[in-house]
Amino acid sequence: MYQKELDTALSAVAVAARLCREARKTLVDAAAVQKSDRSPVTIADFGSQAVISLALASAFPRDPIVGEEDAAILRENDLLRGKVLGLVAQAAGVEDESRIMDAIDRGAGDTDFRRRYWTVDPIDGTKGFLRGDQYAVALALVEAGRPVLGVLGCPNFSAGEGEPAGALFCAVRGEGAWTASIGARHAAPGKGRPIRVDGIERAADARFCESVESAHSDHGLHQQICDRLGITAPPYRIDSQAKYAAVASGRASIYLRLPRSATYREKIWDHAAGSIVVEAAGGRVTDFSGAPLTFASGRTLAEHRGILATNGRFHDSMLAAIQAVAPV
């Protein structure tokens, strides 16, 4: 049903992931800049968003794109702009500066979030990127507030035991989830390897997945939740939406995102692709009240507090433990 969308998304994310990997080799120190919220961002963000936006605009010119970046800083900085243009030309063969700048800016436009749109996180897990650890390129297609297709490109994550680093994780609602190498030409149904969440039945036997950065996940509260459920396995600490890939492929059973503050709301691009990959792999993703996530309210998950992804088998007991230790 979504074959063209899936093929386009897989190709775009694979190109963007390879661009990010190339940028990581040469540009981390020179290209890091600061956004107003002080989170680090690199030219790889802009290059990644550009190649994805260009691909979507070519295949689906009427579809809105919701992204994390706009091109304002590039229009004011010749050095950064030149590096982005060079990366995009090398990765996607596009050299038209105005076309590339406009492609990046498409992600900042207004849209009706109740209708069909794409949302992209060009580099999720910037600190992991800068450290050379886990990060992800995330792209999802949303219709009527629900992700119907998602692709995660994880340049430092392997698709399976003994496989080289660099994996795509993709899902289509109602059709399952798959993984393939970033270097592979396709990961469409029947052409990639199907993935499923693990079969662990008891929370006490599960492995917990959390962020490397304690600022992104309260390790102390996570430990309290683990203690309450009898979880003794050491946490699996990785950055970005690669945590969703870990749950979807059975390497971990649980990922939760505690609210940063009473007022903070999660950005849609941080969860849309990952959530459908987990759900399509047989897992469950909700907020801390147990409600499924809805992506129809704007650029944030305005209606939701906290996010929990599990293999689905002990989701309710996890919610109860969270409410007991960290009620929201």
Dist. CA 134–CA 157, nearest whole Å: 7
- Active-site residue, 310 included: no
List the beta strands (DSSP E) in 5-145.
Answer: 33-34, 40-41, 65-67, 117-124, 136-143
Dist. CA 68–CA 55, nearest whole Å: 17
Dist. CA 296–CA 66, nearest whole Å: 12
Comparing C-alpha atoms, which of 272, 232, 254 is closest to residue 316? 254
Residue type, 117: Y
List the catalytic residue out of 126, 179, 294, 310. Answer: 126
Dist. CA 41–CA 38, nearest whole Å: 9
Comparing C-alpha atoms, which of 258, 262, 271, 328 is closest to residue 299? 271
- Active-site residue, 78 included: no
Residue 271 half-sphere exposure toward CB, CA atoms < 13 A: 26
CB count in 10 Å sphere of residue 58: 12
Cβ-based neighbours of 322, under 8 Å, separated by 6 or more: 225, 256, 288, 306, 308
Instruction: Tell me how far CA of residue 162 lies from CA of 28, 36, 156, in angstroms.
Output: 28, 41, 13
Dist. CA 60–CA 290, nearest whole Å: 34
List the catalytic residue out of 8, 42, 45, 119. Answer: 45
- For the chain, first and last CA: distance in Å? 39
Residue 38 half-sphere exposure toward CB, CA atoms < 13 A: 0
Active site residues: 45, 126
